């Protein structure tokens, strides 16, 4: 007897939740503004960003050379710089003053100065010093210049060392070992090409999900507040409660975004051949608490959105803040404890880090248990805050309208 | 006539001021957000250059040489050895967990092989999935490895009884050296790379949203008749009166930001702060003009705001300060010309960073100014929408 009564109560909960879910789906699909965000933007942004950052790095960056040595050796050095994939010598001058014009015009992003005593010093077995000047308007210009010059320099240094040792009567293996008593191998374990896109895109993909979900829910809530239609969510004598409304609404966006996530996190990295070495099952396990946390987070904050459109006006800037707070760019170890703690408020922090670790670094779910547990805690806390906020909003709407 | 315009504009400005203080969104989404972002980013990058980034070590040799190596690496200010691991897989596990950005590994018998001239090898492993931390630790580990080689060679030659001076050994290990100059940012301060354009990136977002919102909200709420009454039916005065308070507000925020960055924080300013601040004012006006263009094109708050949000977000990418424009596929490079912030960046590079003579920036000043003329394209359309409130989307 009591068993069937209990199952009846359970069934009633389910029926109420499903009816909210169906209503919410209808409302969502009919709202062109919301669809523009959760379908249009979620579909287009990943394509657009993947395409813009397709090239990963700079190839053949134009630089100028001031060759004051003008010897076979200096010309060999310039040739080996030109041969690197990173740099291309487009201008040659006799003094530094002449370099200024093309540099100010942005035609070159670096300058190599080979001093007059370059060959002489090498021949005298002294150390010769070349000078490089890097355009610092972008981190990538500096890195490309440093990498290219360094590569050519190592190449020239090896040649000169062997030459010298040969002249000392040391040849073959003996010369090699004297030139380098030990060697080292640098292994780049993840993002082997040191590509900018491969580093940024995985973080952006998670952020696109987080932000479109946020603005989608914001717009839908803003509409409800504008029309003051919250009271309709709990019709009299329907047996519906705040709990049913919150769970039903959340399930609507959650289920929609499960599909979106398959496209954004599963399909896009394969399409553009971005890093995707993670186990899809681990990604799926991570995404469930991420979407729940992000949904309840958005539902809670939507209390500040009074109109359909104001979500953008109030919260658009957070997209940049959240990207930096995730710590994919500026390392978390240098962030300062206050901002590290602040970053734990946002599902994007755990979502981005968890996804990057699985997707780009091949971690499994046990290796990201911190992020995983963090997301479940956020989901729980933001569920409670959503309940509180909805109770207040629906309550005041009912008061006004009945 | 001109006196009337002055009077009408003044009336609209006063009305706008009352609206600005009447609802929190106006001042929140302009002044508050901008000031918050200044505080956020300045404290966020306060370290300038990442220091003490966590790295690990796998020492299987446990020798005098390997311990010397570890000490040398730990002495590098950019990296800090946080953990010793027993083997490769343990270190890799820590890397995947995100606990370390790099680790190096010295195999068993390294010292013995070194002493018996067998040219041993050691490895280091870097994680470039976090590109800033990865690139910087990579650079440091290469440097320490090369210095280590120099040190060992010196010791070896000394063992053989050949006395060598410090500079001689350098010439042997590294016949050619590089004296690297970083123009205007000698310490590769990461805040200098990013803040100068990230903050304008946020400001263009706020200007665009606020311009569209303040005009679009009148359309939506059907308050345009009242607006036109205040402006004495002059569309020009109405528009000017609505925009000017924000021109002033954002110019103050922008120039205030310039003072904080270039005066107080001493970020590189090798040109003239006056010229650059003039660019800031033009930047504000150009983005207001684009805002008016959007709401004129789509005189509906929702549509114009959605579009302007997309445009504003893309503006950050097409500034080209993190990933240069010329590295993008050719097909999208052309989009850089649609964003005044791209030209603002060019002025920043020439004026602040490189200290180039002003003639190199004049073309970009002219191009930013050209954006200010854009509203004339949609002026009539917007005027029609303002005069006929049924056009608004609340009536749909």
CATH number, domain containing residue A158: 3.40.1710.10
Residues B159, B215 within the same domain:
no
Beta carbons of B50 and A338 less than 8 Å apart: no
Q: Cβ–Cβ of B181/A77 closer than 8 Å?
A: no
Q: CB contact, 8 Å: B174 with chain A? A: yes
Query: Burial of A236 by CB count in 10 Å (0-12 exposed, 13-18 middle, 19+ buried)?
Result: exposed
Task: Say how far apart CA B305 and CA B295 lie, in whole Å.
Answer: 8
Asked, for residue A79, whether it belongs to a domain, the answer is: yes
**pLDDT tens-place string over residues B358-388:** 999 999 999 999 999 999 888 888 888 888 7
Contacts of B349 in chain A (CB under 8 A): 106, 137
User: How far is Cα B33 from Cα B326, in angstroms, rounded to an integer?
Assistant: 32
Nearest residue of B to residue A176 by CA position?
A: B119
Number of domains in chain B: 2
Q: Does B72 map to a domain?
A: yes
Q: Are residues A23 and A111 in the same domain?
A: no
The answer to whether residue A190 is domain-embedded is no
The answer to whether residue B175 neighbours chain A at the CB level (below 8 Å) is: yes
Q: What is the nearest CA distance from A160 to chain B, expressed in angstroms?
A: 7
Same domain for B349 and B210? Answer: yes
For A278, which residue in chain B has the nearest alpha carbon? B96
Q: Do A196 and B323 touch (CB under 8 A)?
A: yes
Separation in Å, CA of B165 to nearest CA in chain A: 11
Which residues, other chains included, contact A25 with Cβ-Cβ below 8 Å and sequence gap of 6+?
A252
Picking from A177, A186, A361, the nearest residue to B124 by CB comes out as A186
pLDDT score recorded for residue B164: 67
Residue of B nearest to A188 (CA): B126
pLDDT tier for residue A290 given thresholds of 50, 70 and 90: very high
Full domain range(s) for residue A132: 61-179
Q: Chain B residue closest to A150 (CA)? A: B178
Same domain? B194 vs B333: yes
Which residue, A179, A205, A233, sits at the end of a domain? A179
A36 and A12 share a domain?
A: yes
Widest CA span in chain A: 103
Task: Write out pLDDT tens, residues A50-108.
Answer: 999 988 889 999 999 999 999 999 999 999 999 999 999 999 998 899 999 999 999 99
- If asked whether residues B41 and B60 sit together in one domain, one would say no
Task: Name the minimum distance, in Å, from the CA of B70 to any CA of chain A.
Answer: 15
Q: Which of B134, B176, B192 sits opposite A130 (nearest CB)?
A: B176
Residues A242 and A94 in one domain: no
Distance from CA of A51 to the nearest CA of B (A): 8
- Residue B396's pLDDT band, with cuts at 50, 70 and 90, is very low
Question: Is residue A8's pLDDT more than 80?
Answer: no
Q: How confident is the model at residue A29 (pLDDT cuts 50, 70, 90)?
A: very high
Count of all residues that appear for chain A in the document: 402
Does B178 fall in a domain? no
Task: Check residue A166 and give its pLDDT.
Answer: 81
Phi-psi region of B309 (alpha: psi -120 to 50; beta: other; left: phi over 0): alpha
Q: Could you tell me if A17 and A66 lie in one domain? A: no
In this complex, the residue of A106, A180, A319 whose CB is nearest that of residue B149 is A180
* pLDDT reading at B135 higher than 80: yes
Q: What is the tens place of the pLDDT at every residue in B148-185?
A: 877 777 777 777 766 666 667 777 778 888 888 888 77
Tell me how crowded residue A336 is: count the other CB atoms within 10 A of its CB.
14
* Lowest pLDDT segment from A258-267, A386-395, B204-213: A386-395
Distances (CA, A) of B227 to A309, B8, B15, B216, B394: 21, 11, 8, 12, 17
Together in a domain, A285 and A393: yes
Name the 3-class secondary structure at B333: helix
A-contacting residues of B 261-300, CB under 8 Å? none
CB atoms within 10 A of CB A378: 24
pLDDT of B394 above 60: no
| A132 compared with B2, residue with greater pLDDT | A132
Q: Are residues A80 and A47 in the same domain?
A: no
CA distance A263 to chain B (A): 20
Q: Is residue B182 part of a domain?
A: no
Which of A273, A286, A265 lies closest to A191 in space, CA to CA? A273
For residue B277, give every residue at least 6 positions away whose Cβ sits within 8 Å of its Cβ, in sequence order, or none.
B254, B255, B258
pLDDT digits (tens, 9 = 90+) for B219-242: 999 899 999 999 998 999 999 999
Give the CATH number, domain containing residue B63.
3.40.1710.10
Same domain for B242 and B390, yes or no, is: yes
Cross-chain CB nearest to B131 (options A199, A306, A313): A199
Domain count along chain A: 2
Task: Note whether residue B103 is domain-resident.
Answer: yes
In chain B, which among 131-160 make CB contacts under 8 A with chain A?
131-135, 138-139, 141-142, 145, 148-149, 152-153, 156
- Largest CA-CA distance found in chain B, in angstroms, rounded: 98
Instruction: Say yes or no: B263 and B292 in one domain.
Output: yes
CA neighbor of B53 nearest in space, from B123, B124, B137, B135? B137
- Inter-chain residue contact A353 with B181, CB threshold 8 Å: no
pLDDT value of residue B217: 93
* Assigned token pair, B81: 């050895």
Q: Among residues B148, B173, B198, which one ends one of the domains?
A: B173
Name the residue in chain B with its Cα closest to that of A131: B179
A-chain residues within 8 Å CB-CB of B112? none
Residue A125 CA to residue B252 CA, distance in Å, equals 60
Residues A77, A205, single domain; the answer is no
Examine the domain organization and report whether A343 and A248 are in the same domain.
Answer: yes
Helix (H) or strand (E) holding B170: helix B166-173
Same domain assignment for residues B27 and B69: no
Residues A48 and A159 in one domain: no
Flag whether A258 is in a domain: yes
The answer to whether residues B166 and B208 belong to one domain is: no
pLDDT exceeds 80 at position A186: yes
Distance CA B284, CA B263 (A): 21
Binary contact (A313, B327; C-beta < 8 A):
no
Helix (H, G, I), strand (E, B) or coil at B193: helix
Mean pLDDT of chain A: 90
Same domain, A364 and A216: yes
Under a CB-based contact definition with an 8 Å cutoff, are residues B255 and B280 in contact? Answer: yes
B184 phi and psi angles, rounded to 5 deg:
75, -10
Write out the E strands in B41-169: 53-59, 79-84, 102-106, 121-127
Same domain membership, residue B59 and residue B30: no
Give the 3-state DSSP-derived string for chain A, with helices as H, strands as E and coil as C. Answer: CHHHHHHHHHHHHHHHHHHHHHHHHHHHHHCHHHHHHHHHHHHHHHHHHHHHCCCCCCCCEEEEEEECCCCHHHHHHHHHHHCCCCEEEEEEECCHHHHHHHHHCCCCCEEEEECCCHHHHHHCCCCEEEEEEECCCCHHHHHHHHHHHHHHHHHHHHHHHHHHHHHCCCCHHHHHHHHCCCEEEEEEEECCCCCHHHHHHHHHHHHHHHHHHHHHHHHHHHHHHHCCCHHHHCCCCCCCCHHHHHHHHHHHHHHHHHHHHHHHHHHHHHHCCCCCCCCHHHHHHHHHHHHHHHHHHHHHHHHHCCCCCHHHHHHCCHHHHHHHHCCCCCCHHHCCHHHHHHHCCCHHHHHHHHHHHHHCCCCCHHHHHHHHHHHHHHHHHHHHHHHHHHHHHHHHHHHHHC
Boundary of a domain, candidates B173, B197, B217: B173
pLDDT at position B395: 37
**Of B121, B205, B324, which is closest to A138 when you measure between CB atoms?**
B324
Closest CA to B120 of B170, B162, B65, B175: B65
Whether residue A189 is contained in a domain is answered as no
Residue B180 lies in a domain: no
CA distance B141 to chain A (A): 9
Are the beta carbons of B69 and B97 closer than 8 angstroms?
Answer: no
Q: Which residues contact B284 (CB under 8 A, 6 or more apart)?
A: B203, B207, B246, B247, B250, B251, B254
What's the half-sphere exposure (Cβ side, CA atoms, 13 Å) at B393?
Answer: 16
Give CA separation, A63 vs A47, A58, A74, in Å: 32, 12, 16
Domain span at B151? 53-173
Whether A244 and A156 map to the same domain: the answer is no
| Contact call for B327 and A157, based on CB within 8 A | no
Between strands B53-59 and A110-114, the pairing is unpaired
Residues A254 and A320 in one domain: yes
B123 and chain A in contact, CB less than 8 A: yes
Q: Return residues 137-196 of A near B (CB < 8 Å).
A: 137-143, 146, 149-150, 153, 156-157, 160-161, 164, 176-178, 180-192, 194, 196
Q: How close, in Å, is residue B378 to chain A by CA atoms? A: 22
Closest CA to B330 of A392, A52, A26, A389: A52
Residues B280 and B381 placed together within one structural domain of the fold: yes
> What is the distance between the alpha carbons of residues A9 and A3, in angstroms, rounded to a whole number?
10
Does A1 have pLDDT greater than 70? no
Taking residue A1's Cβ as centre, other Cβ atoms within 10 Å add up to 5
Kindly state whether B125 is in contact with chain A, defined as any CB-CB distance less than 8 angstroms.
yes
Choose the final residue of a domain: B173, B201, B233.
B173
ipTM for the assembly? 0.91
Q: Which two tokens stand for residue B92?
A: 């890799």
Would residue A393 count as lying in a domain?
yes
- Of the listed ranges A180-184, B263-267, B297-301, B327-331, the least confidently predicted one is A180-184
Residues B11 and B109 in one domain: no
Is B196 within the bounds of a domain?
yes
Q: Cα-flanking dihedrals φ and ψ of residue B232, to 5°?
A: 55, 40
Do B152 and B23 sit in the same domain of this protein? no
Q: Does A116 touch chain B (CB under 8 A)?
A: no
pLDDT score of A148 more than 60? yes
CB A309 within 8 A of CB B213: yes
Residue B51: predicted pLDDT: 87
> Is the model's pLDDT at A178 over the cut of 80?
no
Note whether A105 contacts B: Cβ–Cβ < 8 A: yes
* Residue A214 phi, psi dihedral angles, 5° rounding: -60, -50
Q: Which chain B residues touch A208 with a CB distance below 8 Å?
A: none
Q: Reading across the β-sheet that carries A87-93, which strands appear in turn?
A: A87-93, A61-67, A110-114, A128-134, B176-182
Burial class (CB in 10 A: 0-12, 13-18, 19+), A94: exposed
Contact A334, B47 (CB under 8 A): yes
Amino acid B2: pLDDT: 66
């Amino acid at each position: 007897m009591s068993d069937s009564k209990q199952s009846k109560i359970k069934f009633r909960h389910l029926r109420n939740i499903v009816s909210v879910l169906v209503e919410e789906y209808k409302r969502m699909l009919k709202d062109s503004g919301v669809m523009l965000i959760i379908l249009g933007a979620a579909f287009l942004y990943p394509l657009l960003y993947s395409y813009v950052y397709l090239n990963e790095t700079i190839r053949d960056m134009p630089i100028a050379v001031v060759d004051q040595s003008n010897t076979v050796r200096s010309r060999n050095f310039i040739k080996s710089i030109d041969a690197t994939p990173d740099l291309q010598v487009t201008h040659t001058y006799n003094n530094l003053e002449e370099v200024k014009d093309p540099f100010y015009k942005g035609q070159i992003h670096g300058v190599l100065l080979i001093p007059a005593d370059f060959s002489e010093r090498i021949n005298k077995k002294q150390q010769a010093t070349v000078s490089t000047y890097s355009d610092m308007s972008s981190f990538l210009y500096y890195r490309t210049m440093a990498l290219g010059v360094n590569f050519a320099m190592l190449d020239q240094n090896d040649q000169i060392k062997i030459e010298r040792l040969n002249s000392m009567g040391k040849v073959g293996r003996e010369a090699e070992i004297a030139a380098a008593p030990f060697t080292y191998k640098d292994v780049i374990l993840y993002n082997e090409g040191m590509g900018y896109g491969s580093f940024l895109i995985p973080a952006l993909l998670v952020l696109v999900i987080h932000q479109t979900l946020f603005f989608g829910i914001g717009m839908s809530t803003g509409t409800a507040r504008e029309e003051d239609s919250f009271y309709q969510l709990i019709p009299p004598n329907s047996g519906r409660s705040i709990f049913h409304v919150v769970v039903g609404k959340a399930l609507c966006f959650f289920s929609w975004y499960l599909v979106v996530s398959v496209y954004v996190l599963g399909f896009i990295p394969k399409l553009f051949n971005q890093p995707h070495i993670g186990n899809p099952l681990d990604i799926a396990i991570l995404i469930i608490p991420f979407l729940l946390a992000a949904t309840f987070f958005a539902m809670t904050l939507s209390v500040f959105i009074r109109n359909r459109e104001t979500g953008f006006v109030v919260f658009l800037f957070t997209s940049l803040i959240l990207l930096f707070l995730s710590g994919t760019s500026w390392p978390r170890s240098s962030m300062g404890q206050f901002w590290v703690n602040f970053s734990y408020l946002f599902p994007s922090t755990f979502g981005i880090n968890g996804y990057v670790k699985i997707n780009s670094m091949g971690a499994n779910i046990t290796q990201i248990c911190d992020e995983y547990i963090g997301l479940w805690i956020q989901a729980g806390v933001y569920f409670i805050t959503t309940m509180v906020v909805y109770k207040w909003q629906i309550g005041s709407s009912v008061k006004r309208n009945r | 006539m001109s006196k009337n315009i002055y009077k009408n504009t003044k009336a609209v400005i006063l009305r706008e001021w009352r609206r600005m203080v009447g609802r929190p969104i106006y001042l929140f989404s302009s002044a508050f957000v901008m000031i918050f972002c200044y505080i956020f980013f300045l404290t966020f990058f306060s370290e300038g250059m990442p220091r003490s980034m966590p790295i690990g070590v796998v020492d299987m040799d446990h020798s005098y040489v390997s311990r010397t190596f570890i000490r040398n690496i730990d002495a590098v200010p950019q990296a800090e050895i946080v953990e010793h691991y027993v083997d490769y897989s343990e270190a890799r596990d820590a890397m995947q967990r995100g606990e370390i950005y790099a680790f190096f590994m010295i195999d068993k018998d390294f010292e013995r092989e070194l002493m018996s001239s067998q040219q041993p090898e050691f490895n280091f492993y870097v994680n470039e999935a976090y590109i800033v931390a990865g690139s910087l630790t990579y650079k440091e580990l290469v440097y320490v490895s090369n210095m280590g080689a120099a040190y060992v060679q010196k010791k070896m030659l000394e063992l053989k009884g050949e006395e060598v001076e410090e500079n001689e050994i350098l010439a042997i290990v590294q016949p050619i050296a590089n004296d690297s100059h970083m123009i205007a940012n000698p310490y590769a301060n990461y805040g200098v790379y990013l803040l100068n354009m990230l903050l304008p990136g946020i400001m263009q977002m706020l200007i665009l949203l606020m311009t569209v919102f303040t005009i679009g909200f009148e359309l939506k709420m059907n308050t345009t008749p009242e607006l036109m009454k205040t402006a004495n039916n002059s569309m020009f005065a109405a528009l000017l009166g609505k925009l000017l308070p924000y021109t002033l507000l954002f110019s103050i925020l922008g120039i205030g930001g310039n003072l904080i960055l270039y005066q107080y924080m001493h970020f590189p300013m090798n040109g003239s702060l006056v010229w650059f601040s003039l660019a800031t004012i033009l930047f504000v006006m150009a983005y207001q003009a684009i805002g008016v263009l959007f709401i004129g094109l789509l005189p509906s708050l929702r549509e114009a705001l959605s579009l302007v949000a997309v445009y504003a977000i893309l503006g950050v990418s097409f500034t080209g300060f993190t990933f240069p424009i010329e590295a993008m596929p050719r097909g999208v490079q052309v989009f850089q010309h649609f964003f005044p912030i791209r030209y603002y960046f060019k002025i920043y590079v020439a004026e602040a960073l490189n200290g180039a003579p002003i003639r190199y920036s004049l073309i970009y000043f002219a191009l930013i100014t050209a954006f200010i003329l854009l509203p004339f394209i949609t002026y009539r359309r917007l005027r029609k929408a303002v005069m006929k409130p049924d056009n608004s989307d609340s009536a749909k």
